[in-house]
């Protein structure tokens, strides 16, 4: 393979503490190396910002909900069409793009790694087919295990080590990367038309509580030494007053923290940070959440930023999604996935003129700016729930520019503007901090050691943006900065130039990561599990686990469990 050298750019590599230094990055055989020979191809990054390729810890790009949403919304397709070119395939979709379009659009923005955060184990096969058809990026997916019957039974019976062995098997069977938990207990209750309303509300038929599920899986995660922590979508999502539940969920594993390392990730925190008794009195719980996170180091969060647009909500939280249907009257889909989980899809338009939506817009930014340590709060929109991932450049400039925020503030609902904390927050993230929340911090939280940085040995995934920090302050010239983030000057993936000036110049496919956990306890599937499959699933056990050969480009991450 070839050698490449990125010369003379302003490098932001927080994991190696490089803050805008002018330096060269050398690449050979898809990895970053100390140096290359003079014959290497040169990418002239003079006057430009060089960062590791973008990493997205939570974006719905494949699986049952995503595909059903595509079927649900032909009107989302017709308004956003990408015509086939000599190098790229055609595609459609504004809030839920088709697979090829998804890959191209991420790559054009300089993103190189994306995590699909929600996969019903039953849908794993289809999820991997879609991921295999998503070009340009490395990816992984998280199986939903928080309402998984076997796990609930193990937790009920206090069998933590057995549960750990079982979950290790499940991660392999579904080729998953992390333990995803959505509205723990609530999804199981939804199978009976019910929900849970606090972390101590017992789950029907199992007699355990969401608190026990979160703690049980947190312990399993630690026993298995998984690279990421448990990834939690809290109970009571989207309900006024739910910031209390978010705090309780973070508190309930405080004692399980080890040496200042995170043990829990709360996803799309904006939807869990509502104060108030009802929609009329909705206000921001950002201060309480930020205060807690500033004083604890066992938690990481991602934003779930709202963008004013016509988007599509999709989560595994069936009861919540049904509530959204009742609120909006929009067309809707809802699933109960056998014994595993639930799901729902409802189109949703966020409006500047709505006091509630405008407050939501403000909340995620308040949290991102009030939390002092950027390593704790990562940038996402929970694509497409808060907005399409193509709005990331907008969100990035809101984080680095008070002027950009004020422009939006001046146009939002007056009541929300009065309540917003943003006018009193002057903080603007530096380019270094921006690199943390969009790549370095994301990779660190995920435990992806070769991503999110530009040190020797890292994967050569690089984004070069046409921003010259010496000539123009991106906080002031935020329109230009946004355009620069939207169309990367270069995207380099695995050492190859794949995007130039926001256009795909080399279509490629990335890898699919999954955790291959070695336990000392054997976790072969026993007869009891096989029997349960026969009795309760529509799929025979033999057809359930996914063979490694099924994945286009598998990249197992070897993990040695402590059990």
- Does position 78 interact with other proteins (CB under 8 A)? The reply is yes
| Total residues in contact with other proteins, by rule CB under 8 A | 9
Of positions 28, 60, 73, 275, contacts other proteins by CB under 8 A:
73
Cβ 75 to other proteins shortest distance, Å: 4
Given the complex with other proteins, which of 71 and 456 has the nearer CB atom? Answer: 71
Find the distance separating the first CA and the last CA of the chain, reported in whole Å: 40
Rounded to whole angstroms, the Cα distance separating 252 from 126 reads 35
- Does position 96 interact with other proteins (CB under 8 A)? The reply is no
Q: Under DSSP, is residue 402 helix (H, G, I), strand (E, B) or coil?
A: helix
Rounded to whole angstroms, the Cα distance separating 137 from 175 reads 17
Rounded to whole angstroms, the Cα distance separating 368 from 395 reads 11
Given the complex with other proteins, which of 266 and 324 has the nearer CB atom? Answer: 324
> H or E segment at 99?
helix 99-108
Given the complex with other proteins, which of 79 and 531 has the nearer CB atom? Answer: 79
Q: Which range binds other proteins by CB under 8 A, 44-52, 75-83, 299-307, 518-526?
A: 75-83
Given the complex with other proteins, which of 21 and 75 has the nearer CB atom? Answer: 75
Given the complex with other proteins, which of 349 and 414 has the nearer CB atom? Answer: 349
Rounded to whole angstroms, the Cα distance separating 403 from 278 reads 31
Rounded to whole angstroms, the Cα distance separating 441 from 447 reads 10
Rounded to whole angstroms, the Cα distance separating 476 from 301 reads 28
Of positions 3, 13, 56, 76, contacts other proteins by CB under 8 A:
76
Given the complex with other proteins, which of 348 and 465 has the nearer CB atom? Answer: 348
CB 250 within 8 A of CB 266: yes
Exposed, middle or buried, 89 (CB in 10 Å: 0-12/13-18/19+)? middle
Given the complex with other proteins, which of 48 and 72 has the nearer CB atom? Answer: 72
Cβ 79 to other proteins shortest distance, Å: 9
Q: Which range binds other proteins by CB under 8 A, 74-82, 229-237, 313-321, 425-433?
A: 74-82
Of positions 41, 74, 327, 411, contacts other proteins by CB under 8 A:
74
DSSP 237-286: TT-TTTHHHHHHHHHTTGGG-BTTB--EEE-SGGGG-EESSSGGG-EE-H
CB 180 within 8 A of CB 231: yes
- Does position 72 interact with other proteins (CB under 8 A)? The reply is yes
- Does position 70 interact with other proteins (CB under 8 A)? The reply is no
CB 467 within 8 A of CB 481: yes
Q: Which range binds other proteins by CB under 8 A, 66-74, 160-168, 203-211, 512-520?
A: 66-74
Given the complex with other proteins, which of 72 and 440 has the nearer CB atom? Answer: 72
Cβ 77 to other proteins shortest distance, Å: 8
Residues 279-338 that bind other proteins (CB under 8 A): 329-331
Q: What is the DSSP letter of 217?
A: H
Rg value, the chain, Cα: 22
Cβ 74 to other proteins shortest distance, Å: 4
CB 4 within 8 A of CB 459: no
- Does position 90 interact with other proteins (CB under 8 A)? The reply is no
Of positions 21, 29, 75, 254, contacts other proteins by CB under 8 A:
75
- The length of the chain is 563
Given the complex with other proteins, which of 83 and 471 has the nearer CB atom? Answer: 83
Q: Which parts of this chain interact with other proteins (CB under 8 A)?
A: 72-76, 78, 329-331
């Amino acid at each position: 393979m070839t050698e490449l050298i990125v010369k003379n750019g302003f490098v932001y590599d927080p994991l190696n503490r490089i803050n805008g230094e002018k330096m060269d990055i050398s690449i050979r055989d898809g990895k970053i190396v100390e140096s290359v020979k003079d014959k290497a191809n040169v990418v002239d990054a003079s006057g430009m910002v060089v960062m590791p390729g973008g990493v997205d810890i939570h974006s719905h790009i494949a699986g049952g909900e995503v595909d059903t949403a595509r079927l649900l919304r032909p009107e989302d397709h017709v308004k956003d069409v990408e015509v086939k070119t000599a190098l790229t395939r055609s595609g459609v979709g504004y809030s839920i793009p088709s697979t090829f379009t998804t890959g191209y659009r991420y790559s054009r923005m300089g993103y190189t790694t994306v995590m699909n955060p929600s996969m019903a184990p039953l849908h794993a096969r289809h999820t991997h087919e879609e991921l295999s058809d998503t070009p340009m990026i490395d990816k992984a997916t998280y199986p939903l295990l928080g309402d998984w019957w076997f796990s609930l039974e193990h937790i009920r019976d206090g069998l933590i080590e057995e549960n750990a062995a079982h979950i290790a098997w499940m991660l392999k069977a579904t080729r998953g990367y992390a333990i995803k938990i959505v509205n723990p207990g609530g999804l199981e209750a939804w199978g009976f038309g019910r929900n849970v309303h606090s972390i101590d509300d017992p789950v029907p038929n199992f007699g355990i509580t969401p608190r026990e599920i979160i703690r049980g899986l947190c312990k399993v995660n630690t026993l298995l030494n998984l690279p990421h922590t448990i990834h939690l979508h809290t109970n009571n999502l989207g309900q006024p007053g739910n910031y209390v539940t978010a705090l309780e969920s973070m508190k309930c594993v405080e004692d399980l923290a080890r040496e200042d390392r995170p043990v829990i990730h709360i996803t799309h925190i904006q939807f869990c940070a509502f104060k108030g008794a009802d929609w009329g009195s909705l206000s921001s719980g950002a201060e309480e959440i930020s205060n807690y996170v500033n004083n604890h180091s066992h938690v990481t969060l991602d934003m779930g930023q709202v963008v004013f647009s016509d988007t599509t909500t999709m989560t595994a939280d069936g009861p919540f999604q049904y509530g959204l249907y009742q609120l909006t009257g929009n067309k809707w889909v809802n699933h109960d996935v056998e014994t595993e989980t639930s799901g729902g899809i409802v189109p949703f338009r966020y409006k500047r003129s709505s006091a509630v939506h405008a407050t939501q817009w403000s909340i995620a930014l308040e949290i991102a700016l009030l939390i002092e340590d950027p390593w704790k709060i990562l940038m996402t929109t929970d694509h497409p729930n808060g907005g399409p991932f193509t709005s990331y450049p907008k969100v990035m400039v809101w984080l680095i520019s008070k002027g950009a925020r004020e422009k939006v503030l001046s146009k939002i609902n007056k009541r929300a503007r009065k309540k917003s904390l943003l006018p009193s927050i002057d903080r603007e993230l530096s380019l270094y901090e921006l690199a943390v929340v969009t790549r370095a911090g994301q990779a660190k939280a995920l435990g992806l050691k070769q991503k999110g940085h530009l040190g020797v040995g890292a994967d050569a995934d690089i984004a070069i943006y046409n921003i010259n920090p010496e000539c123009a302050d991106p906080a002031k010239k935020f329109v230009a900065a946004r355009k620069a983030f939207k169309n990367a000057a270069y995207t380099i993936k695995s050492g190859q130039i794949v995007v130039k000036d926001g256009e795909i110049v080399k279509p490629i496919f990335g890898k699919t990561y999954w955790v291959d956990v070695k336990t000392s306890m054997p976790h072969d599937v026993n007869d009891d599990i096989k029997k349960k499959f026969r009795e309760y699933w529509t799929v025979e056990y033999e057809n359930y686990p996914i063979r490694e050969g099924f994945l286009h480009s598998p990249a197992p991450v070897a993990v040695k469990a402590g059990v």
